[in-house]
Amino acid sequence: MTERKTLGISQASTPKADPKASFAATGARLDKLKVRAREARRAPTLAQQALWEQLSGSRLGGVRFLRQSIVGSVIVDFACPSRWIAVVLSPEGANPEVDALQDKKLTDVGVRVLRFAESDVLDDADAVVRAILTEVNKPFDKRAARRSAGAPQFAHADEGAEG
């Protein structure tokens, strides 16, 4: 199992006025994110494996989910581009400030974020799947979200490699 890298928040940084301006990663940063996403797909946690069994193959509501996808400048555990949903699993000991910052980056551009503790997935995967299915089935106007937030970029480190 690989060691997880942790992120910190710089106290000196100030939020940008336009959330879309710093949303998408480019260049070397995007390349690093792609490598990290690929590595995470190759060595998933037990919780990620358990949830992927429920989400893969369009089993949940007939929609497609991607594993370890880059959404803007954030790697999310599972992404449903057609519904603008990102599912993130927080490991024990995760930094809540970093989690909140990542969630805000996504929600500011119209992505719906569902965050669960890894222990919740392992203890009651059915409840987590029901919560995701509820969000998948909520009415969602993609065009209105794009107009108000700008289209987020969902990327996959290995295009076409889902599982």
Tell which CATH classification among 3.60.15.10, 3.10.20.30, 3.40.960.10, 3.40.50.720 matches the domain 27-156.
Answer: 3.40.960.10
Q: Please check the confidence at residue 163 and state whether its pLDDT lies above 50.
A: no
β-pairing, 85-90 with 112-117? Answer: parallel
Q: How close are the terminal C-alpha atoms of the chain, in Å?
A: 18
Name beta bridge partners: 96. none
Confidence at residue 72, expressed as pLDDT on a 0 to 100 scale: 84
For the stretch 19-32, pLDDT in tens is 555 566 678 888 89
Binned at pLDDT 50, 70 and 90, residue 123 comes out as very high
b/e burial code for range 37-63 (CB count within 10 A of at least 16 → b): beebbeebbebbebbbebbbeeebeeb
Q: Give the separation between CA 49 and CA 1, rounded to whole angstroms.
A: 13
| Dihedrals phi, psi of 69, to nearest 5 degrees | -100, 150
CA distances from 4 to 7, 15, 36 (A): 10, 26, 10
Amino acid at site 154? F
Q: 136 or 29: whose pLDDT is higher?
A: 136
pTM, 2 dp: 0.74
For the ranges 56-60, 90-94, 128-132, 155-159, the lowest mean pLDDT is seen at 155-159
Binned at pLDDT 50, 70 and 90, residue 162 comes out as very low
Confidence at residue 27, expressed as pLDDT on a 0 to 100 scale: 80
Mean pLDDT of 93-118: 91
Q: Tell the burial category of 136 from Cβ atoms under 10 Å away from its Cβ (0-12, 13-18, 19+).
A: buried
Domain ranges of the chain: 27-156
Please give the share of the chain, as a percent, with pLDDT higher than 90: 48
